[in-house]
Amino acid sequence: MRTIKGPAIFLAQFAGDKAPFNNLKNIASWTAKLGYKGVQIPSWDARLFDLQRAAESKSYCDEIRGMLASHGLEITELSTHLQGQLVAVHPAYDLAFDGFTPERFRGNPRARQSWAVEQLLFAAKASANLGLTAHATFSGALAWPYLYPWPQRPAGLIETAFEELAARWRPILDVFDEAGVDLCFEIHPGEDLHDGVTFDMFLERVGNHARCNVLFDPSHFVLQQLAYLDFLDLYHDRVKMFHVKDAEFRPTGRQGVYGGYQPWVNRAGRFRSPGDGQVDFTAIFSKLTQYGFPGWAVLEWECCIKSGEQGAAEGAPFIARHIIQAVGSAFDDFASSGTDRGANRRILGLV
């Protein structure tokens, strides 16, 4: 067992044009004052971070680390959620996802995909330059429009989609392997990797790649009605990242998992600030500690009711309260009588 690191915070939902959210130095000062020890950085936000420069310059990475250290902070991981999404986009979502890419690539799916892959390769090198061992991303989705099989899916459609998804990601995984960094796919609705079954389908097709791992966010399990504690029992050896995000699911006679096209605040399943939803974080922290989770507990604030400022202020003490200092010895060691093979055999009546 080992003690989970934290508390940390994902900066994506807080970055903005006004201070203290307009650059990494300012947001680091704000973060540290709230009691956080780590920051997870969205690599697509130029107000906070220059991904290509980080991939090409160890000096730039050292400057970033030094500045954060002056505030008592570490970088936990980089994120390429938006770029990872663009590695695989079904044509139905071309227009919606074009906004994730620089304007010069919009309307050109092939160029957009090539840019996204290049961004992932930069992220592998930047992570290595920063001394990081894990990286957050999305898988993208080719099969998601066919989630609910009506009309009946053509035979082999899903298999073809996953073979193509694996073919696109395998070379990226190899680059992350060369960099010594685990690539952690967030299990998330809207992605082809949205539950254990789909992760297994992908993992098989990338040859059980050692760098193919999981970002565990229990809020997405609540909204899908998946057993998140069972997931940790099954996949703990692949869980290398953890988002502390809460959710609630309260179905009615009028609405269930699909949400009736309603805005978040009116949905049966909705995201909440940690402690305001239904996620059993006490059990999750216990499971992760039991299994020796090597990473950070990172707040991802998304709530349709509570403000981000309040959620961030409450998040650090919430995580700190849940971090378990892993035991170094068994609680009943005081009663140990030592090891004696002969005595053990006599106790069992074997002599």
- pLDDT of amino acid 331: 57
- pLDDT of amino acid 333: 63
pTM of the model: 0.94
Other Cβ atoms within 10 Å of 280 Cβ, number: 13
pLDDT (average), residues 15-29: 96
Q: How far apart are the first and last CA of the chain?
A: 37
Residue 343 has pLDDT above 60, yes or no: yes
For residue 328, what are the contacts with CB-CB under 8 A and spacing of at least 6? Answer: none
- pLDDT of amino acid 130: 98
Q: What is the mean pLDDT of the chain?
A: 96
pLDDT tens, position by position, 195-241:
999 999 999 999 999 999 999 999 999 999 999 999 999 999 999 99
pLDDT tens, position by position, 239-265:
999 999 999 999 999 999 999 999 999
Assign 3-class secondary structure to the chain: CCCCEEEEEECCCCCCCCCCCCCHHHHHHHHHHCCCCEEEEECCCCCCCCHHHHHHCHHHHHHHHHHHHCCCCEEEEEEEHHHHHCCCECHHHHHHHHHHCCHHHCCCHHHHHHHHHHHHHHHHHHHHHCCCCEEEECCCECCHHHCCCCCCCCCCHHHHHHHHHHHHHHHHHHHHHHHCCEEEEECCCCCCCCCHHHHHHHHHHCCCCCCEEEEECHHHHHHHCCCHHHHHHHHCCCEEEEEECEEEECCCCCCCCCHHHCCHHHCCEEEECCCCCCCCHHHHHHHHHHCCCCCEEEECCCCCCCCHHHHHHHHHHHHHHHCCCCCCCCCCHHHCCCCCHHHHHHHCCCC
pLDDT tens, position by position, 285-342:
999 999 999 999 999 999 999 999 999 999 999 999 999 999 876 656 655 667 788 8
What residues form DSSP beta bridges with 8?
38, 298
**5-347: which CATH topology?**
TIM Barrel (3.20.20)
- pLDDT of amino acid 235: 98
- pLDDT of amino acid 332: 60
Domain ranges of the chain: 5-347
pLDDT (average), residues 79-89: 98
pLDDT (average), residues 170-186: 98
Residue 270 has pLDDT above 90, yes or no: yes
Percentage of residues of the chain with pLDDT beyond 70: 97
